[in-house]
Amino acid sequence: MSAELREQVRGVTTSSEQLRRETASLATALRKPQVRGAWGEVQLRRIAEIAGMVERCDFDTQASFGSGAGALRPDMQVNLANGHKVFVDAKVPLAAFLTAAEETGAEASQHLADFGKHVRKHVDTLGGKQYYQLADSPEFVVLFLPSDAFLAAALEHIPDLHEYAAKHNVVVATPAILIALLRTVAHSWQQTELADSAREIVAGARELYDRLGVLGAHFDKLGRSLATSVKAYNEAVGSLERRVLPTARRLQSMRT
């Protein structure tokens, strides 16, 4: 084996080992609820930005509410154009899935089955929080899975997951599904802004029409006043020419 080829193999081996360590570090970190929650929020924010939304305007990641079920802190609050809100949760446990990725055979299958159960249990938890009791909220909450692989694994062991979630007023969404949802929301905002602009244009046109009407009335009044003034002027000139000037001419002729 040539020295150049050995160097390339060594580079690939080093890169693979580095990738393995980074993946292991990420998997270890994602087992911690706080890290997993922060990572989920980052994924949500990126997806919202991809969908063309702006934080603190179209969505909020720091919302907190009180309800009959206690304090509610969704990972994302999506603001709809009609004033309503949709809440997104990204706190689904991933430990079993991450463990399955490190195993093979029956052990991996068992961990994936546990992951499916954890997702279904999280559906129960979200359904029990009763987000729909909040004002201006539709009767569902979005359970966000940050990868299609997570949903595929859950569906493999819980085939009726979507139907089960729907009965609990929960929508299970992967990044692709959530992007489609958020782009629909963003489009509704654009349509609302266009409608608002159209209403402003109509209101402005009506105001302009009313003001032109007032201005027209002023011009009409001015025209009548000018006509009266011109008539009075002509009468004065006529009187001057018919009465005053002839008398003045006679006086002038008498002096001479």
- The CATH number for 158's domain is 3.40.1350
Mention every residue, 6+ apart, whose C-beta is less than 8 A from residue 142.
Answer: 86, 87, 88, 89, 170, 171, 172, 173, 178, 181
pLDDT surpasses 60 at 15:
no
CA triple 12-14-18, angle to 5 deg: 115
pLDDT surpasses 90 at 163:
yes
pLDDT in tens, 173-203: 988 888 888 777 666 666 656 566 667 766 7
Q: What three-state secondary structure class fits 67?
A: strand
Residues 24 and 92 in one domain: no
Of 188, 221, 243, which one is at a domain's C-terminal end?
188
Q: Which domain holds residue 117?
A: 36-188
State residue 22's pLDDT score: 42
Residue 252 placed within a domain: no
pLDDT surpasses 90 at 121:
yes
Residues 51 and 171 in one domain: yes
Number of domains in the chain: 2
Q: Return the structure tokens found at 250.
A: 């006679």
Residue 221 placed within a domain: no
Residues 18 and 139 in one domain: no
**What is the overall mean pLDDT for the chain?**
76
Residue 200 placed within a domain: no
Of 141, 164, 188, which one is at a domain's C-terminal end?
188
pLDDT in tens, 220-251: 888 888 888 888 888 888 887 887 778 777 87
Mention every residue, 6+ apart, whose C-beta is less than 8 A from residue 70.
Answer: 129
Rounded CA separation 191/27 (Å): 42
Residues 2 and 51 in one domain: no
Residues 149 and 169 in one domain: yes
pLDDT over 70 percentage in the chain: 71
Residue 198 placed within a domain: no
Residues 108 and 69 in one domain: yes
Residues 78 and 129 in one domain: yes
State residue 159's pLDDT score: 92
